[in-house]
A and B are shown apart, each in its own frame.
Chain A
Amino acid sequence: DVKVTQSSRYLVKRTGEKVFLECVQDMDHENMFWYRQDPGLGLRLIYFSYDVKMKEKGDIPEGYSVSREKKERFSLILESASTNQTSMYLCASTLAGGGTNTEAFFGQGTRLTVV
């Protein structure tokens, strides 16, 4: 059974803290993604990575950074958490290439609250 695992389901952090959200996939996928989900806005892409140490900005990268040191792990970093980063964060992965490789597999999500 394919799996994308996010390290925490719920997190509460203080304003100004550095926050790490971890995602691990066991499918040997090349591509990994971080999305943010907010009511009425759907899912918006923050960053994605198509290979180890390779990354590209998505639509809303401000206030975030990422790290991909190993193929199976993709970390999202909030350098200095702010209340407007309170949200649900979803990690996903896909194979490279088109066609059936485009199917994305998602983790369970991390609900982050910044107080």
Chain B
Amino acid sequence: EADIYQTPRYLVIGTGKKITLECSQTMGHDKMYWYQQDPGMELHLIHYSYGVNSTEKGDLSSESTVSRIRTEHFPLTLESARPSHTSQYLCASSDSDRNDGYTFGSGTRLTVV
């Protein structure tokens, strides 16, 4: 689980606040992903990026936005958090040349009250 870092690990915020979840990787991977996962449930892809200045929405509609200005950094932003955004957010990266699996961060558990 090393080499890809997510901060914060836990976050409790009030409704309407703007938040940014950070994700950084040191492996030089070109592809990065954000997944949303409720406890004990499946993963839902909400955003992905195939390289700098490339971002796409995933399979699950999300009110969040992402940016990829640098290869190593893929932050996710919620402009106005709501209780329905309460979930775990997992960041991952992969190397399209190696195609040998994803490396995941430890996740950010977000609670919106």
Q: Do A and B come from one complex?
A: no
